[in-house]
Amino acid sequence: MEELATVGEFGGNLKRELKKLFLLALGIKPDDALAEEFSLVASKGPNRKVGDYQCNHIMHKLAPKPSQSDFTRLIGQLIVSNFPASEMVKSCSVTGCGFINVVISSDYTAKSIENMLINGIDTWAPTLPVKRAVVDFYSPNIAKQLHVGHLRSPIIGDTIARLLEYSKVQVLRRNHVGDWGTHLGMIIEYLFEDFPGLPNDAVITIEYIEALYLKSKAKFEEDPVFKEKAKRALVCLQSGSPVYVKAWAKICEISRTESNKVTQRLQVELGEKGQSFYKPYISNMIEELTIKGLVQEIDGSRVISIQDLKTPLMLVKRDGGFTYSTTDMAALWYRLNEEKAEWIIYVTDVGQHEHFDKIFKAARKAGWLPANDTTYPRASHVGFGVVLEGNGKRFRSHRYCPTVCLVQLLEVAKTCSKTALIERGEGKEWTPKELDLTAEAIGYSMVKFADLKNNRLSSYTFSYDQMLCDKGKTAVYLHYAHARICSIIRKSGKDIDELKKAGKLALDHADERALGLHLLRFSETVEEACTKLLPHVVCEYLYGLSEQCSKFYHNCQVIGSAEETSRLLLCEATGIVMRKCFHLLGITPVYKL
């Protein structure tokens, strides 16, 4: 059975703790094959009336035929009668064809929340069976301005890194920039045609470099002579020719400066190790693979043939140049052997699935990775759908028409947010700086949440109106829910830290209990998002939490009620969990609106 995360005494992963109890009731050992078939789901809709969690999958496993429903119901009743006593569980019942419904104890929920308030939300963090991971994300190509098509990798990668970091994993964030490919040979060769010697710094701007890229790309496709020159230029660069390296360094420097403007606004931290970083490791890597008998020479190229794949993995081209596969193999070797990573995660669009499938299979063939891709060390490709234009095609750098720059999108989001705040009369007593910071926090979060709330595998069409919408399942709704909770606490005038020490939590009202139980599901949500590498799971949880918070706010008086202390503590716990969700999504919380 896959190794599972561990949790604390209170506030741990409810599904995990319940599973342990069910396995005891069934007499199944954790390492038994049947244990893998066991699963629990959080009850939704009408099922909430009979239980908070439901177990049904194992019933289908024991008796898959409908005619055996009496048998599965009997099995369910036997399990319930044999269920171990636990402070966590209030009751178990059997419905339908043997579905077992579990009601979580409100006292246990309250104690778990009290424990978190005193000891911090880190006590709710799962501990994954991996200590160090590399998350390879963002990775833009040098010489291109970043447009909305580049949005997904930095924010999905950052969220995955944050989830792992919260789960006690040391994460090496890697920006594997494309600074060593064919497009550099094209650009440098075209640059030398324009300027036999390097132009002065005033001429080389990001706009000039991007224009150079588009012109050189067109010429590369149309002019066979230029195409050969560009290929030779790349070989000269990769061989370390000083003239070519000087031009390359300047282009990289300017591109990096522009790229950093985006990551700074998005609050994404990265350590750059581009393709060129791994050049010193390529020759030894190829020699190791050659000694193992994996490298073949075909038509002057050096390749690795992989079973079931039509095309081999290219390591060295006929002209002596290296490929993306070469540097990716060197990077994988480095991450496993030098950085000692146990889990290497690549965050790119789904179009690169075949490329990484080939890399991973070559690594398994070399013995770098285990044959079983569910054990460690592990390499995973986190593919995501692309951002589409109105015509249904993916966003790309166009030869003749400009795309929506990412910096421009973020600036528009901030401006729209500020305009909306002013029109609503929000922040009349705010200073200009407070208004600006609030508009920035909301504007940038609108862009991030609009992307992250989608299942990462789905593509979507870019629309200013949809991305910057403040109605429905949006960041604005989440910010208002958080700000309302903070407002209640401020208006109470109570010292929350003192209440944490002396106050007790009670969840007697149905909406108090529903909110408390949703808070307790935070740990299992984080673990699911980590293990499945799906950031939208956190978005769904946070939106659901905001909805539960709204119901609680409307139906349970806080200030001045007999339950004021308990409900203030519940408000504080909700705010803490919301802020941790915001953090995991890379969103700056807003405390008043």
Q: What is the CATH classification number for the domain harbouring 578?
A: 1.10.730.10
Mean pLDDT in residue range 231-241: 92
Mean pLDDT, rounded, for 245-251: 90
Rounded-to-integer distance, Cα 28 and Cα 33, Å: 9
- Band of residue 50 on the pLDDT scale cut at 50, 70, 90: confident
Using the predicted structure, report yes or no on whether residue 397 has a pLDDT greater than 70: no
- Report whether 344 contacts 377 (CB < 8 A): yes
First to last CA, the chain: 48
- Same domain? 200 vs 143: yes
Residue 401 lies in a domain: no
**Domain with 19 in it: what CATH number?**
3.30.1360.70
Given a cut of 70, whether residue 592 has pLDDT beyond it is yes
Distance CA 407, CA 522 (A): 33
Q: Are residues 160 and 219 in the same domain?
A: yes
Running DSSP on this structure, what letter comes out for residue 141? B
Q: In the predicted model, is pLDDT for residue 17 greater than 60?
A: yes
- Assess whether 97 and 182 both reside in one domain: no
pLDDT higher than threshold 70 for residue 367? yes
Please state, in angstroms and rounded to a whole number, the distance separating the CA atoms of residues 272 and 256: 10
| Token code pair at residue 507 | 């969840």
Among positive and negative, which fits the CA dihedral 306, 137, 127, 36?
negative
Per-residue model confidence (pLDDT) at position 46: 57
Q: What average pLDDT does this structure show over 459-483?
A: 85
With a cut of 90, say whether residue 69 has pLDDT above it: no
pLDDT digits (tens, 9 = 90+) for 289-312: 999 999 999 999 999 999 889 899
| Full residue range of the structural domain in which residue 218 is found | 132-384
Residue after which a domain boundary falls, among 331, 366, 384: 384
- How confident is the model over 143-152, as a mean pLDDT? 81
pLDDT band at 586 (very low <50, low <70, confident <90, very high): very high
Q: What is the average pLDDT score of the chain?
A: 88
Structural domains in the chain (count): 3
Give 60's pLDDT tier (boundaries 50, 70, 90): low
Check pLDDT > 80 for residue 204: no
Same domain, 87 and 151: no
Q: Which of 40-54, 268-282, 447-461 has the lowest mean pLDDT?
A: 40-54
In this model, does residue 2 exceed pLDDT 50? no
Statement to judge: residues 161 and 309 lie in one domain? yes
| 178, burial (CB in 10 Å: exposed 0-12, middle 13-18, buried 19+) | buried
140 and 281 share a domain?
yes
Query: HEC string of 124-140?
Result: HCCECCCCEEEEECCCC
Whether residue 129 contacts residue 337, with contact meaning beta carbons closer than 8 Å, is answered with no
CA distance 505 to 519: 13
Domain assignment present for residue 114? The answer is: no
What mean pLDDT do residues 158-172 have? 98
Query: Can you give the pLDDT at residue 386?
Result: 85
- Mean pLDDT value across residues 363-367: 97
Angle between helices 182-194 and 206-222 (to 10 degrees): 100
Task: Assess whether 287 and 193 both reside in one domain.
Answer: yes
Distance CA 119, CA 121 (A): 7
Q: Which helix (H) or strand (E) holds 383?
A: strand 378-384
Q: Which amino acid is at 181?
A: G
Instruction: Copy the structure tokens of residue 383.
Output: 């593919």
Whether residue 509 is contained in a domain is answered as yes
**Residue 183 above 60 pLDDT?**
yes
| Residue carrying structure tokens 């001045």 | 560
> Contact, 388 vs 394, CB < 8 A?
yes
| Domain co-membership, 148 together with 91 | no
Q: pLDDT at position 315, please?
A: 97
- The pLDDT of 510-526, averaged and rounded, is 96
Residue 338, burial from CB neighbour count under 10 angstroms (0-12, 13-18, 19+)? exposed
Region 535-559: what's the mean pLDDT?
A: 97
Tokens describing residue 258: 């522009």
pLDDT confidence tier of residue 75, bands split at 50, 70 and 90: confident
Q: What is the pLDDT of residue 501?
A: 87
Once rounded to an integer, what is the mean pLDDT over residues 146-166? Answer: 92
Please state whether the peptide bond connecting residue 129 to the residue before it is cis, i.e. omega within 30 degrees of 0.
Answer: no
pLDDT confidence band for 28 (50 / 70 / 90): confident
| Mean pLDDT (whole number) for 572-576 | 98
**Rounded Cα distance, 461 and 385, in Å:** 10
Q: What is the mean pLDDT of residues 452-460?
A: 92
pLDDT of residue 567: 97
Q: What integer is the mean pLDDT of 261-285?
A: 94
Of the three residues 329, 356, 384, the one that is the final residue of a domain is: 384
233 & 339 share domain: yes
The residues, ordered by sequence, that sit 6+ positions from 133 with a Cβ below 8 Å of its Cβ are 164, 169, 170, 171, 172, 341, 342, 343, 344, 345
pLDDT, position 402:
46
State pTM to two decimals.
0.91
Closest CA to 410 of 338, 468, 346: 468
Residues 6 or more apart whose CB falls under 8 angstroms from that of 311 comprise: none
231 vs 44, more confident: 231
Q: How far is it between the farthest Cα atoms of the chain? A: 86
The larger pLDDT score, comparing residue 206 to residue 507, is at 507
| Distance separating alpha carbons of residues 234 and 225, to the nearest angstrom | 15
Per-residue confidence (pLDDT) for residue 7, from 0 to 100: 39
User: What confidence category does residue 58 fall into, taking pLDDT thresholds of 50, 70 and 90?
Assistant: low
Residue 136: CB atoms within 10 A of its CB come to 25
User: How many Cβ atoms sit within 10 Å of the Cβ of residue 307?
Assistant: 6
- Together in a domain, 155 and 75: no
CB 337 within 8 A of CB 372: no
Q: How far is CA 40 from CA 143, 358, 420, in A?
A: 49, 35, 43
The top-scoring range by mean pLDDT among 148-157, 219-228, 464-473 is: 219-228
Q: What is the pLDDT of residue 463?
A: 76
Say which residue the tokens 């070399």 belong to.
Answer: 366
Are 211 and 258 part of one and the same domain?
yes
pLDDT at 515: 97
Q: Is residue 119 part of a domain?
A: no
pLDDT band at residue 1 under the 50/70/90 scheme: very low
The residue ranking higher by pLDDT, 8 or 101, is 101
User: 395 lies in a domain?
Assistant: no
525: tokens are: 């949500």
Question: What confidence tier does 31 reach under pLDDT thresholds 50, 70, 90?
Answer: confident
**Mean pLDDT confidence for 279-285:** 96
C-beta separation of 171 from 418 below 8 A: no
- pLDDT of 67 over the 60 cut: no
What whole-number distance in Å separates Cα of residue 63 and Cα of residue 75?
10
As to burial, measured by CB atoms within 10 angstroms (0-12 exposed, 13-18 middle, 19+ buried), residue 328 is: buried
> How much is the pLDDT for 390?
67
Does residue 83 share a domain with residue 208? Answer: no
CB-neighbour burial class of residue 497 (10 A; exposed 0-12, middle 13-18, buried 19+) = exposed
Find the CATH number of the domain harbouring 223.
3.40.50.620
Mean pLDDT of 418-433: 85
CB atoms within 10 A of CB 221: 12
